[in-house]
Structure 1
Amino acid sequence: MENALIAWIGIMSVYGFILMGLDKRRAKRGEWRIPERTLWTVALFGGGIGCYLGMQTFRHKTRHTSFRLGFLILALLYVGAGIWLKTAA
């Protein structure tokens, strides 16, 4: 069970990272954007680490305080959860 949750967090984090990069590229090109609601949903359901790392890597949404703080808090929660799951097993 613990490994499945850690795997889920990993998969969602990769997905969140990709979405942040894709949305940044679309923003630069003036194309259709990924809704902020989608980014938040992915972050809330396990992708907080990837969304935060994507935000920092692609310098995307960094001016939005809600994203800076929210993604950071979610990333820290998921890192903590992963550590707790590994040590509790």
Structure 2
Amino acid sequence: MIAPDAALTWLWLASFYGVASVACFIAYALDKSAAIDRRSRIPERTLLLMGLLCGWPGGLLAQRLLRHKTVKTSFQLAYWCTVALNVAGIWWLMHALF
């Protein structure tokens, strides 16, 4: 059984990931639209930072559904590094707390 504090922490973390993922998905969609219309784009650094800050599931979903940022190798490498950093950071945080 999970302790009440741990359950609340996991709920908070899941909620944060959900909100961050929706925001990241929207950012990818806006960037894709801007790319198509040849308007000002969202910097890759911003997309990567949003992914690092727990939005990477939304970024991954956007990449797959919108077929955006999937071909550029340098972006993909940086993206997966941010995913690894995020997962490692959350793992460390959870082990430090519990």
TM-score (norm 2): 0.70
Partners in 2 of 1:50 and 1:72 — Cα distance?
13
How far apart are residue 47 of structure 1 and its match? 0.4
Match runs of 1:9-88 below 5 Å = 9-71=17-79, 74=83
How far apart are residue 32 of structure 1 and its match? 0.5
The alignment partner of 1:62 has SS state of coil
How far apart are residue 26 of structure 1 and its match? 0.3
Pick 1 or 2: higher relative contact order, CA cutoff 8 A, min separation 6. Answer: 1
TM-score (norm 1): 0.76
For structure 1, the 5+ residue unaligned runs are none
Partners in 2 of 1:70 and 1:10 — Cα distance?
22
For structure 2, the 5+ residue unaligned runs are 1-8
How far apart are residue 70 of structure 1 and its match? 4.7
Q: Does the 8 Å contact 1:16/1:39 carry over to 2?
A: yes
Structure 1 runs of 4+ off > 3 angstroms? Answer: 66-73
Write the letter of the residue equivalent to 1:53.
Answer: L
Q: Does the 8 Å contact 1:49/1:71 carry over to 2?
A: no
Over the residues paired in the alignment, what is the CA RMSD in angstroms? 2.3
Write the letter of the residue equivalent to 1:36.
Answer: E
Q: Which protein shows a greater Rg?
A: 2
